[in-house]
Amino acid sequence: MKLKVLGPHGGELPGCRSTCFLVDGRLSLDAGSLTSTLPLDELVKVDDILLTHSHFDHVKDLPLMADVLVGRRDKPVTVHSNTECIATLKKNLFNNVLWPDFTAIPTRRDPVFKLKAFKAGATVKVGAYQVKSVPVTHPVESCGFVISHGGSTLAISGDTGPTERFWKVLNGVKELEVLLLECSFPNELQELADISGHFTPRTLEQELEKFDRRGCEVLLYHLKPAFVEQLKREVRHLPVHVLELDEEYEF
């Protein structure tokens, strides 16, 4: 698998882009930075979008992507997520009020987007990939994922605070090569992180003790833009790498 970091942050400022990763040029993990990074000829190649949850920084480029793809693909882009997230997109985004309903444009038989829900915890096919979803700890229904294809496996935590099930699932994966792991707020904002369902470097260090790494590379994302440099200092002693814009991995 080839992984490109389109957006490794938990929001936007100059030099920071919201959460989005591109796998093999075809699968997008979250949709915070699709139209703001990919040229049109690459954007039209994205067949599937897998959303961890419904919060704005993870879905914000969906409306603009739909707008530029009209008439440019032979089949819909399929947006996959848990049932709560898909329901939120239908009710609050593609509702012909906030944005046109691109699940029925240009026609219901041939729309730009197809929304496909799964039950949190299910194992599903997303394009060519097998995806195990794992409920994690967040104010809305949020999932981490274990994604496998062609003998390679990566995982992404989604937005989460301290959790148990996610680590149990990861510890059962035989050859996990890469883990994309969130870390959002500095230690001084621990109370805010706990309320909002996120890690600080302190809780991140505690959570990593639950993980049987076996050589897996841990890559941090979702750093809140106002605290990037502080977070980098606070995780410096940990065996992790803080992701930067446009980094690429192949495994």
Put the strands of the sheet holding 178-182 in their side by side order: 123-126, 129-135, 143-149, 152-156, 178-182, 217-221, 241-242
What DSSP character marks residue 76? P
Reduced DSSP (H G I as helix, E B as strand, rest coil) percent helix, strand, coil of the chain, to 5:
25, 30, 45
CB 32 within 8 A of CB 19: yes
Q: How far apart are CA 251 and CA 153, in angstroms?
A: 8
Q: How far apart are CA 123 and CA 144, in angstroms?
A: 12
Residues 6+ apart with CB under 8 A from 100: 66, 94
CA distances from 222 to 109, 139, 159 (A): 36, 16, 8
> pLDDT of 71-125, one tens digit each?
999 999 999 999 999 999 999 999 999 999 999 999 999 999 999 999 999 999 9
> pLDDT of 23-38, one tens digit each?
999 999 999 999 999 9
Quote the pLDDT of residue 121. Answer: 98
**Containing domain of residue 89, as a range?**
2-250
CATH number of the domain residue 70 falls in: 3.60.15.10
pTM reported for the whole predicted model: 0.97
Quote the pLDDT of residue 185. Answer: 98
The amino acid sitting at 34 is: L
Q: How far apart are CA 198 and CA 179, in angstroms?
A: 16
Phi, psi (rounded to 5 degrees) for 46? -75, 115
Quote the pLDDT of residue 153. Answer: 98
Q: State the pairing for strand pair 241-242/143-149.
A: unpaired
The per-residue b/e assignment along 180-202, b for 16 or more CB within 10 angstroms, e otherwise, is bbbbbbbeebbeebbeebbbbbe
Quote the pLDDT of residue 12. Answer: 97
> pLDDT of 167-188, one tens digit each?
999 999 999 999 999 999 999 9
**Domain count along the chain:** 1
**Nearest-5° Cα angle at 38, 37 to 40:** 140
Q: Token pair for residue 170?
A: 């990861």
Mean pLDDT of 196-207: 98
Quote the pLDDT of residue 18. Answer: 98
CB 63 within 8 A of CB 77: no
Quote the pLDDT of residue 113. Answer: 98
Answer left, alpha or beta for residue 100, where phi above 0 means left and psi between -120 and 50 means alpha: beta
Quote the pLDDT of residue 52. Answer: 98
pLDDT band at 65 (very low <50, low <70, confident <90, very high): very high
* Number of DSSP helices (H) and strands (E) in the chain, helices first: 8, 14
